[in-house]
């Protein structure tokens, strides 16, 4: 198996590439724009979100 990073063509492809996704974006508006269309792909996977924001924004995104 090759080692190293592999570029994903889409957000969904990145999420489906493994059981863990790390996310670090500018703010929760960008995060929501990116994650909303791939919400189904996140089910059963772990998302570590390092995006800057408030606890309320984090809870809203989790929901």
How would you write the pLDDT of the chain (63 residues) with one tens digit per residue? Answer: 567 788 899 999 999 999 999 999 999 999 999 999 999 999 999 999 999 999 999 899 888
25: its two tokens = 């974006």
The alpha carbon of 36 is separated from its chain's Cα centroid by a whole number of angstroms, namely 10
Question: 23 φ, ψ to 5°?
Answer: -130, 130
Q: Is 47 within 8 Å of 21 (Cβ atoms)?
A: yes
Three-state SS at 19: coil
pTM, two decimal places: 0.74
Q: Domain map of the chain by residue range?
A: 11-62
Bridge partners of 45? none
């Amino acid at each position: 198996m090759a080692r190293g990073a592999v570029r994903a063509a889409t957000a969904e492809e990145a999420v489906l590439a493994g059981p863990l996704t790390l996310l670090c974006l500018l703010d929760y508006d960008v995060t929501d724009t990116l994650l909303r269309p791939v919400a189904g792909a996140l089910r059963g996977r772990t998302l570590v979100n390092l995006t800057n924001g408030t606890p309320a924004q984090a809870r809203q995104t989790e929901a």
